Structure 1
Amino acid sequence: MPGGPKGGAVTVRYWAAARAAAGVDSDVVTGCATVGDVVAAATALRPELAPVAAVSSLLLDGRSAQRDAAVPDGAVVEVLPPFAGG
């Protein structure tokens, strides 16, 4: 994955269907410059996550983020699949 200046660790947290697809609550990835790079690294680790990640909303340190958003070292990216409700 393309690296930021330091390529520091980023925690990726999975919620609901993303957690079920990944089989774990979270992963740590390194060398990612953008949120999209983080998602690509996570799906490289856990290919079964790819279809869910493709339609998920993403949070960067608790705020909604686009895939081109820069990721600082030590950040947390959360993968939130669409939720059904009523």
Structure 2
Amino acid sequence: MAVGTIRFWAAAKAAAGTAEEPYTAGTLAEALDAVRERHPGELTRVLQRCSFLIDGDPVGTRGHETVRLAEGGTVEVLPPFAGG
């Protein structure tokens, strides 16, 4: 298990009620399961539309259970947004 930080942006930040929180997880799937347990409701719906960066690298279409998290790493939760 790795310990790191999850950062929420835009609608995810509003739904979580916080800009960031720690994670203790081995994979992105485990970290997101814990987030859903801590923040049931709107954030769970927002996460379905989000993209994710792990230490600055996009997750893309990889299965979240295959994305390993590093000790001291950062998960960025990015909802869809518009603008330029």
TM over 0.5: yes
Q: TM-score, normalised by structure 2?
A: 0.84
State the Cα distance separating 1:11 from its structure 2 match: 0.6
For residue 6 of structure 2, the aligned residue among 12, 29, 43 is 12
Runs of 4+ in 1 over 4 A off after TM superposition: none
State how 1:50-61 maps to structure 2 within 5 Å: 50-61=44-55
Q: Secondary structure at the match of 1:84?
A: coil
Higher relative contact order (CA 8 A, sep 6+): 2
State the Cα distance separating 1:45 from its structure 2 match: 1.2
State how 1:61-72 maps to structure 2 within 5 Å: 61-65=55-59, 66=62, 67=64, 68-72=66-70
- Alignment gaps of 5+ in structure 1: 1-6
2: CA distance, partners of 1:54 / 1:10 = 22
> RMSD of the TM alignment (CA)?
1.3
Compare the two structures and name the one with the higher strand fraction. Answer: 2
2: CA distance, partners of 1:10 / 1:50 = 20
| Identity rate, percent | 39
For residue 80 of structure 2, the aligned residue among 68, 79, 82 is 82
Q: TM-score, normalised by structure 1?
A: 0.82
